[in-house]
Amino acid sequence: MAGLIPPASHTLGGRVSDDRRHPAATFTNPLFPGADPNVVRHVGSYYACQAGPGGRIEVYRSASPVDRGEPAVVWTPPRHGWNRAQVWAPELHRLQGRWYIYYAASDGHNATHRAGVLAATSDDPQGPYRDVGPLYTGDDFARRSNNRWAIDGTAFELENQLYFIWSGWEDERDVQHLYIAPMSDPLTISGNRVRICPNNCHAWERVGERHHERGLHEGPQILRRNGLVFLAFSCSGSWQPTYKLGLLWMNESADPLAPGVWTKLSRPAFESTPDVFGVGHCCFTRSPDDTEDWLLYHAKRHRRDGWQREIRAQPFTWRPDGFPDFGRPVASGVALPRPSTAAARRAA
């Protein structure tokens, strides 16, 4: 679920710098209030896509993944219809040379959530966009009947084939699994969905980490390296301090639609500490000079159940076995070097 974003400012961990020519050498977490971060690097700029007040979708442009940047409202929900309310987790993607935004919305009732897509009408990530409508995320592709609940959609390309991954309900019950389906183009799902894996193999995947509770998977994100395709996902309850990241992987030569091709890491990939809790719904990007990998995620502001969250960032590394090492959430107020730039390396 997306949080509300305040008006734009050049914010570094609560400190505001108006001099963009000489930014601070460090920053601190949290970056700013919000949830479900989505950041895309393109031609020297970073574009952050977020849900804003009233469900509008905003795209921010900045020179660094830890800066908010300048906003543009690219879409506002209609007053009536399937997507008038509960706009969650929009994601900006550049696919086949064009910009698209995938988002989830409803008619005001959670059970009607569907995945929608916006298509840019120019080559500017900050719009304008046209609303193409909902995607089909059900089990009867031939007739397009009985569309199913869907949120947190993301797209990726593998061996010249597009795929859509999302969190969905199997039926009318509120039990979330990860699903994948092929796409014929960025606007069209072209086959029935496939459930990627069980959502309750381990207690840490379940709501509240309790054995008697349901499993819950959402927030899928793709990360590729070393001949492997990694799929990070969020699990347990997003409203709870037990929220965390799990990790699936497969060989990049495999068929992501094949049963059993995805392997699940038996332990959490990124989880709470006593200081930072409810960590989840991440995205990945690279530093401006392309030398560092960065993880952006949200965390809860309070331990009590609820959806008051804030966005955070930190670099991550890679283990000798080729797997990502996200480390532990860095505590609030700890100074971190800003994402590396060519200018910073020359000055060092």
Q: What is the pLDDT of residue 30?
A: 98
Are 243 and 230 in contact by the 8 Å Cβ rule? The answer is no
Confidence of residue 342 (pLDDT cuts 50, 70, 90): confident
For the segment 146-167, the average pLDDT, to the nearest whole number, is 97
Q: Do residues 80 and 89 make contact, with C-beta atoms less than 8 angstroms apart?
A: no
Quickly list DSSP for 270-286. Answer: B---SSS-S-EEEEEEE
Cite the beta strand spans of 34-160 per DSSP E.
Answer: 39-42, 45-51, 57-62, 70-75, 85-95, 98-106, 114-120, 129-134, 150-158
What is the predicted pLDDT for the residue at 15?
A: 37
Distance CA 222, CA 156 (A): 7
Q: Quick check: 150 and 114 in contact, CB under 8 A? A: yes
The predicted pLDDT at position 11 comes to 36
Average pLDDT of the chain, as a whole number: 93
| Model pLDDT, residue 24 | 76
Which top CATH class is 11-347? mainly beta
- Which amino acid, residue 253? S
Locate 143 and state its tokens: 């007739």
Residue 191, pLDDT score: 97
Model pLDDT for residues 13-27, shown as the tens digit of each residue: 433 333 344 457 999
Domain ranges within the chain, ordered by starting residue: 11-347
- Whether the pLDDT of residue 45 is over 90: the answer is yes
Percent of the chain with pLDDT over 70: 92
Residue 299 tokens read as: 């965390």
pLDDT digits (tens, 9 = 90+) for 180-236: 999 999 999 999 999 999 999 999 999 999 999 999 999 999 999 999 999 999 999
Residues 340 and 283: beta-carbon distance below 8 Å: no
Residue/partner pairs of 260-263 with CB below 8 Å, 24 or more apart = 262/196, 262/197, 262/231
Question: How many Cβ atoms from other residues are within 10 Å of residue 279's Cβ?
Answer: 27
- pTM to 2 decimals? 0.92
Span 53-72, pLDDT tens digits: 999 999 999 999 999 999 99
Q: What is the mean pLDDT of residues 300-316?
A: 97
Tens of pLDDT, residue by residue over 321-331, are: 999 999 999 99
